[in-house]
Amino acid sequence: MSPLPAWPPALSEAQQADLAHQAATYALANGFTLLPVPPKGEHVPAIPTQVIAAPLSLLPTPFPRPAYVQAKSIQRLYNALYARVALDWEFLDGIMQYVAPVDDFQAELWNRWKAIRDEIKVTQPVQLGIFRSDYLLHEQGNAVGEKSRIKQVEFNTIAASFGALSQKASEMHRYLSEQTNYYHVNPQLHNPNSFVDNHSLEDIAAGLAEGFNAYGNSDAVVLFVVQEGERNVFDQRALEYQLLKRHRVKSVRLTFAQVAQRGQLDDDKVFWLDCPLRGEQLEVALVYYRAAYTPADYMSSAEWDTRVLLERSTAIKCPSMALQLAGAKKVQQVLAEPGVLEDMLLGNARPDVGFGAGPGSLGARDAAALRETWTGLWPLDSSEEGTKAVQLANEHPERFVLKPQREGGGNNIYRGDIPPYLAKLEEEDKSRPGEAPRREAYILMELIEPPKGVHNLLVRGGEGTPRLADVVSELGVYGVALYGGKVTPVNREAGTLLRTKGRESDEGGVAIGISSIDSPLLV
């Protein structure tokens, strides 16, 4: 039995239309926006002249207060865990030696990092992580009346997006409550204590500022490395504006190609950017990646060369190549194996990240708290567990999702599509005799079963008409971790994101209109 109320409360068509109007105008007035999809055959214009409201929900979606508090409270443990993974070269090498033969992207990232890591350990030992741990509520198999539990979908170590828009969604729902009382259709919708106080924009920007300050030159800049034709530009720009307004930190945003054209590394490994409009060079203190997580960002070796050039510099990276590798799905699966998490958190031989995660500072309860949020994870290799996983995937595919080592969504194989996909990989292996089976590039994950019967009114980006949808909501918790070298360590939770989508869709994707940016109504 789900603890969540039937949702949404009844609203007349006139009330829905009024909410949609107020939500859209609020979004447009406050930068809760995306660039529109360009006409077929055209690109996103260099100088934007039009925007659309981001996909949104008219009402916040009910979410159990204890589950929300739990997800936020364990974020610092997750920060500590993945910071430690990124410092443990032997651990990463042990995983990547099996992933690299079947995943060209991970192989390139790993090999490039290995070639320079002794150098960068001296050049810039400080690392900054802007993380997001994503969860779904799970209730399958719970006892009657038992509350839904959070189960982790994945842990993002690079380009964790929507921090700015998430704060704006929370502010929009609170505004609608204060302005309309949601027409008194439900007492929780005009109870201020039911709405979350979310400062993800401010908290993430503060983390970037802390990374910048650790570099030690207030005249330097933050370099945002971005994708060409980025539609989610306002989420990123809001961070830039916040950095300048609150922290007096200037930013420059460039694609890999522009960095290659304008950047250079001097003899002291300081990275400089030519700024021809100002007639000066800018020193880069911090590199913040909102690109570089997908093979599409590396069209040739030139992009990889630029990534390595930045990695070799004295600039602090967010994330480093090691921290990006730590976010691989295979790492998530290996950590779930018996004893591995405990050894990583509690083992005295593991690297000390310095913020309450050194030897003796974490205990078995901390490891148990993390394991409580995990669902079943299996390898797809030739081990006994891997063989068992292949059998499970073929005999009971409805229970599973197949995940590659990718970020950004749209890459997973679900349920009934799994057996024919595994058969396809097996057929392709016949042309690769003596090489590792291609299925080893994937992990098998037990599907999380969200509560049923929750609906909401969703509005697609650029459209004004709400649609009633049977929904699934995914909660993301942001984290900031600054560590390494002689820096004063930072480890904290940094706000939340709720993405809500129709139950009919397995994949998310705010920019393409599948998911809406939402906020929790704590119940």
Cite the active site residues: 132, 154, 156, 161, 329, 403, 407-408, 499
Q: How far apart are CA 293 and CA 105, in angstroms?
A: 9
Residue that the structure tokens 């409270």 belong to: 73
Residue that the structure tokens 């998430």 belong to: 166
Contact of 134 with 515, CB cutoff 8 Å: no
Which residues line the annotated binding site for substrate? Answer: 132, 158-161, 230-232, 236, 290-293, 499, 510-511
Contact of 377 with 336, CB cutoff 8 Å: yes
Strand 280-289 with 221-225, pairing: parallel
Q: Which two tokens stand for residue 129?
A: 């992580």
Which residues line the annotated binding site for Mg(2+)? Answer: 154, 156, 407
Report the Cα 224 to chain-centroid distance in Å: 16
**Best CA proximity match to 337, nearest among 260, 421, 443:** 443
Which residues line the annotated binding site? Answer: 132, 154, 156, 158-161, 230-232, 236, 290-293, 329, 403-412, 414, 445-448, 474, 499, 501, 507, 510-511
Which residues line the annotated binding site for ATP? Answer: 154, 329, 403-412, 414, 445-448, 474, 501, 507
Backbone phi, psi, residue 281, to 5°: -110, 145
Cβ-Cβ contacts under 8 Å for 13 (sequence gap 6 or more) = none
Q: How many CB atoms are located within 10 Å of the residue 141 CB?
A: 7
- The torsion of the CA quartet 64, 67, 71, 74, rounded to 10 degrees, works out to 150
Ranges of beta strands (E only) in 315-394 are 316-318, 377-379
Q: C-alpha distances in angstroms, 87 versus 62, 271, 323?
A: 39, 23, 8
Report the Cα 206 to chain-centroid distance in Å: 18
Contact of 434 with 101, CB cutoff 8 Å: no
DSSP string, 406-452: --SSS--EEGGGHHHHHHHHHHHHTTSTTSPPGGGGEEEEEPP-PPS
3-state secondary structure of 268: coil
For residue 8, whether the previous peptide bond is cis, meaning omega lies within 30 degrees of 0, is yes
Cβ-Cβ contacts under 8 Å for 40 (sequence gap 6 or more) = none
DSSP, res 362: S
Q: Which two tokens stand for residue 226?
A: 């971005």
Cβ-Cβ contacts under 8 Å for 16 (sequence gap 6 or more) = 58, 457, 466
**Best CA proximity match to 114, nearest among 337, 415, 325:** 325
Q: Any idea what the Cα angle at residue 368 is, between residues 367 and 374, rounded to 5°?
A: 95
Q: Which two tokens stand for residue 93?
A: 């090498």
Q: Which two tokens stand for residue 344?
A: 């990583």
